[in-house]
Homo-oligomer: A and B are copies of this chain.
Amino acid sequence: MNPPRFDALCIGNAIVDVLSRTEDDFLLAQDLHKGTMHLIDEARAKSLYDAMGPAIEASGGSAGNTAAGIASLGGNAAFFGKVADDTFGGIYAHDMHAIGVHFETPRLTGGLATASSMILITPDGERTMNTYLGAAQLLSPDDIDPAVVSAAAITYMEGYLWDPPLAKEAFRHAATIAHEAGRQVSLTLSDPFCVDRFRAEFLGLIRDGTVDILFANDSELRSLYETANLDAALRALAADCPLAAVTVGVNGAIVVSGDGVSRVDATPVENVADLTGAGDLFASGFLFGIARDMDPIDAARLGTLAAAEVIGHIGPRPVTSLRDLAREAGFDI
């Protein structure tokens, strides 16, 4: 097996974020479930945009943020995701290329617009997402370049890909190619309601060996195993999956592996501005670490460091070099 050209290939919905600060009252008035992702259609996107406050725009999408984080750590990352040939699509491609991520998925022409997500940030830093999938849902098996999959140490995919039917097929196709090439496959559960929509399929992927490395946060994991008890869910996970990293907010992360269950503290953050991208950036650090043969505990520490950077400012991707931050923190990367 050749040494991998990419530390990770990330596959997900390519989305431009429209980020706005708001008050909790607005979420109530709009009937939104705080901290989760809502899929919306074009008409709802228009009415919500008209009602919400001023915003900034930034390239986002869970797996895209993870790819950008790996690049910021000095890693080699690739991304597959579908944008349209429009203004947001141009911004998305620019932001990927500018940070050195390999991103060559053909852009959609003459059809749906590039996906956007209206992300409402409450004073506690929590974010509530409202996603119009647009072109992103047309990611198909044809967009899976097998040469890139085979060249990536880890192929990492969003649970959100289960929402668009074609993207789900792309996911399965990529997983098959990765395993045939002797590489690893990783899944993030994305969102507790996403888990609720696809619980049986996600459990199937984990139990049939499709997933080598699982990411979840505590509410996603509890949703997966339909239990309020995190410890019970962790025990079930340990039996189901060879390696997993579970983020637990201010309490950091939990690594579940053959060596047992280990806890890693969160990196302290003085002012939490915006939790958007926290889980995605944790995954950047963990994937980069595993791809570089770090101990999983150290990889999780790198993950919490990356997450701490992104929640200190508005926006879903790092604005400071994660490699510089990691080196200052004593990581030899």
Contact of A313 among B55, B59, B313 (CB under 8 A): B313
Q: For residue A321, which residue of chain B has the nearest CB?
A: B21
Say whether chain A's binding surface is mostly helix, strand, loop, or mixed.
mixed
Please tell me if the beta carbons of A98 and B52 are within 8 angstroms of each other in the complex: yes
Size class of A's contact patch? 20 to 34
Please tell me if the beta carbons of B49 and A54 are within 8 angstroms of each other in the complex: no
Asked if A143 is at the interface (CB within 8 A of a chain B CB), the reply is no
Bound complex: CA A49 to CA B96 (Å): 13
Asked if A319 is at the interface (CB within 8 A of a chain B CB), the reply is yes
Q: For residue A51, which residue of chain B has the nearest CB?
A: B98
Please tell me if the beta carbons of B315 and A94 are within 8 angstroms of each other in the complex: no
Bound complex: CA A59 to CA B56 (Å): 7
Asked if A57 is at the interface (CB within 8 A of a chain B CB), the reply is yes
Please tell me if the beta carbons of A94 and B54 are within 8 angstroms of each other in the complex: yes
Contact residues in B for A313 (Cβ distance below 8 Å): 273, 313-314
Bound complex: CA A57 to CA B49 (Å): 16
Contact residues in B for A53 (Cβ distance below 8 Å): 98-99
Contact residues in B for A68 (Cβ distance below 8 Å): 54
Please tell me if the beta carbons of B94 and A55 are within 8 angstroms of each other in the complex: yes
Q: Mark A150-192, 1 if CB is under 8 A from B, else 0.
A: 0000000000000000000000000000000000000000000
Cβ distance A311 to chain B, nearest Cβ, rounded Å: 14
Scoring A20, A98, A317 by chain B CB atoms within 10 A of each residue's CB, the highest score goes to A98
Bound complex: CA A57 to CA B273 (Å): 18
Please tell me if the beta carbons of B57 and A91 are within 8 angstroms of each other in the complex: yes
Cβ distance A269 to chain B, nearest Cβ, rounded Å: 14
Q: For residue A273, which residue of chain B has the nearest CB?
A: B313
Binding site for B on A (CB under 8 A): 20-21, 49-50, 52-59, 68, 86-88, 91, 94-96, 98-99, 273, 313-315, 317, 319-320
